[in-house]
Structure 1
Amino acid sequence: MPKMSDVARLAGVSTATVSRVLRNPDAVKTGTKEKVLEAIHQLNYQPNMLARHFRRTETKTILVLVPNIINTVFAEIVGGIEEQASKNGYRVLLRNTARKLEREYGSIEHLKQRQVDGMIMLSPQLDEATLNEISSQFPIVLATANLETPKIPFVSIDNVSSSYKATEHLIRLGHKKVGHITGPMDSLLSRHRNEGYRKALGDYGLDIDEQLVRRGHFSYESGFEQMMDMLGQNHVPTAVFAPSDEMAIGIINAAKEHQLRIPEDLAVVGFDNIRFASMFNPSLTTIAQPLFKMGQRSMELLLKKLNGESISQTEHLLPDELIIRDSCGARKKGKLLHN
């Protein structure tokens, strides 16, 4: 017996579009509707009427999965999601996964049981194959995520080029020993930021000293602990690029424990431009992500999926910006560098 996914495949559309044709055909473009109806006719597809009844019941609620509820990066993105959702009559249900796979799997049940209409996942831990399988059945959008072979709409920045920009800034200030404390390397986002760091060193003819590269996990504690360990060795960096502002603040405090001055003895560049970055002493040079806009764009894309509209591209990269403050030393040296 043919399934809805067979109809979608033959018509060249998503299962969400097939569902939209069945329950609200006037909301679908004529050309798309005709392709779906033709596929239904060819396959002699018989929709389950009970399932159709449940699908007609919209909750006007979407689920947002957040890996760390106290992280201000995710809080700003959620703010953008909520604003866009509210404008369109949707409520937002928030769930903190604490970066645990079982919580992400458990949240999918909300979709299966039709308790929510769609889902936005921030930095998901699920593997790409699983995400693709879920997306083939339910409206899903990803944010602050990168995929190897994007099939699901996602909103992010170019993490390779932004990390290159941050590392290049330190190199152009004269640093040749630039360290890096990574995020968790099972995350493609972390690997991309590490890639940008390594590419900048290579392009400027600098060797990558693995003694100056440590693995962390985006937290203040990670930055502090890894930097304390790095400064305990004989070979130390004169600058460090951190893939999150929380880590950068941990790095600076570890350096202060070793009686190092920032930026005279150690220059630091962070990532995210959290609100506290400008208030910290020294104020933090960082890569600013358009977090609120990322949330808005994510919700815009989810609304398109909920309405059965086609999305021509899956990769939505927004512009980032290098914000130069005191922690890198550019101001003191009079070297505000512009690309």
Structure 2
Amino acid sequence: MKKNTYKSIINMKEIARQAGVTRTTVSYVLNERYKKDLKITDQVVQKVFAISKKLGYRRNALACLIKKGNSNIIGFLGDIGEQGNAYMTGMLKGMTETLQDNNYLLKLFSLTDQNFKELCRQCVEQRLGGVICRLSDELKLEYLRREFAHYKIPVVLLGNSIQHDWCSRVITDDISGITLALEHLVSLGHRKIGHLTIDVEMGLVIARREGFIKGLKIAGIPFKKKSIFSIPPGFAMHKDYYALFDNFFKSFKPTAVICASDALAMKLEIWAYARGVRIPEALSITGFGNQDFSLLACPPLTTIAQPMALMGKRAAEIILEIAEKKEISYSDELLPVKLVIRESTGLACDVSEQIIERAIKKNH
């Protein structure tokens, strides 16, 4: 069997050996610093270039940049498999295209609770030109701030984390997104509208809750605390999330529910199917995110679409601007969202409360 043969990487040491000069001389020539050194003759310069071309030498641009204190690599720190392919793929596409157009590369760091500190260390050791981060855990963000500040690595946060004065954010207008969903439901005749969210104080949860309260005020609907129902993080693994939803509908009896995410809306649809509650005839549901599975829901979800590719593009543009200017200044950029109407919302039903109440009792 014929063995594969691979060329060894040609380095300056080998060029110096064949040219009969020192490695330092080769470095001066190939990095075009020979013009400042009158001791290097034109004959030596031509010889070094000729041998490097013959050997197929390729300059290690990354090593040169790191030696200067930075690189043309931007890191992305986040959960790469997060929330469905289209959601993350859109952001990564926007980042990658923008960075490539400016001769930068994107390096992905797939984040978990276990590897967070190690990945931060790698970002510093590799002297990244900047980091785009999708992270909402405040303790992790504070650790990241301390680690990166000393090395002046700029950071741009993607998504509605809590605002900070040490990094830029590219966020979507989640408040307006929820008010759009509420306006849509009101136009269908709904007046008793609930908000299903997660029981955690993170930026996007806070913004979407504020949007719900604001939307009620605009519609002239009095706000009631029990109209917002928060369930524990990790609800998908809860041994009986059906009971959680039962309690919500027993206490408030909404005819429509605005969910803080498509995942929550999907779970609510599953609950409705199990309880025999027809959507949208007896209950209207909206999600948030326009993720892949929102189209596959039964029925397909009315939801709020976020411009994921634009988010990635703007994050890359901001990090490049900081990296090129060498001046770290931070700000927030708010991107618009839009309502996507599908089959999970419909006209309000006068007897929705009775239908849902009977359905819950029947299953107990």
TM-score (norm: length of structure 2) = 0.67
Q: Residues 167-206 of structure 1: matches in 2 within 5 Å?
A: 167-206=182-221
Report if aligned partners of 2:136, 2:162 keep a CA contact under 8 Å in 1: no
| CA pair 113-104 structure 1, distance change in 2 beyond 3 A | same
Shift of residue 83 of structure 1?
2.0
Report if aligned partners of 1:223, 1:250 keep a CA contact under 8 Å in 2: no
Report if aligned partners of 1:157, 1:317 keep a CA contact under 8 Å in 2: yes
Q: Residues 312-331 of structure 1: matches in 2 within 5 Å?
A: 314-329=331-346
Report if aligned partners of 1:223, 1:248 keep a CA contact under 8 Å in 2: no
Candidates 96, 119, 130, aligned match of 2:131: 119
Q: Which has the larger radius of gyration?
A: 2
Alpha-carbon separation, structure 1, partners of 2:165 and 2:177: 20
Does residue 140 (structure 1) correspond to residue 155 (structure 2)? The answer is yes
Report if aligned partners of 1:223, 1:249 keep a CA contact under 8 Å in 2: no
Shift of residue 167 of structure 1?
2.1
| CA pair 104-171 structure 1, distance change in 2 beyond 3 A | farther
Does residue 95 (structure 1) correspond to residue 112 (structure 2)? The answer is no
Does residue 83 (structure 1) correspond to residue 83 (structure 2)? The answer is no
Candidates 72, 81, 88, aligned match of 1:74: 88
Shift of residue 55 of structure 1?
5.3
TM-score (norm: length of structure 1) = 0.71
The sequence identity of aligned pairs, in percent, is 27
**Which runs of 5 or more residues in structure 1 are unaligned?**
1-51, 333-339
Alpha-carbon separation, structure 1, partners of 2:166 and 2:284: 39
Shift of residue 141 of structure 1?
0.9
Candidates 257, 263, 268, aligned match of 1:240: 257
Does residue 159 (structure 1) correspond to residue 174 (structure 2)? The answer is yes
Residue type of the partner of 2:99? A
Alpha-carbon separation, structure 2, partners of 1:225 and 1:214: 16
Cα RMSD (Å): 3.2
Residue type of the partner of 1:159? D
Q: Deviations over 1:18-57 (max 9, x none)?
A: xxxxxxxxxxxxxxxxxxxxxxxxxxxxxxxxxx995515
Match of residue 260 from structure 1:
277
Determine helix, strand or coil for the equivalent of 2:281.
coil
Shift of residue 313 of structure 1?
6.2
**Which runs of 5 or more residues in structure 2 are unaligned?**
1-63, 350-364
| CA pair 153-251 structure 1, distance change in 2 beyond 3 A | same
Match of residue 282 from structure 1:
299
Residue type of the partner of 2:250? N
Alpha-carbon separation, structure 2, partners of 1:82 and 1:219: 31
How many aligned residue pairs are there?
279
Q: Deviations over 1:206-259 (max 9, x none)?
A: 344444433247878279965652225534321111111122111111111110
Candidates 98, 101, 109, aligned match of 2:121: 109
Deviates more, 1:222-231 or 1:301-310: 222-231
Shift of residue 303 of structure 1?
1.0
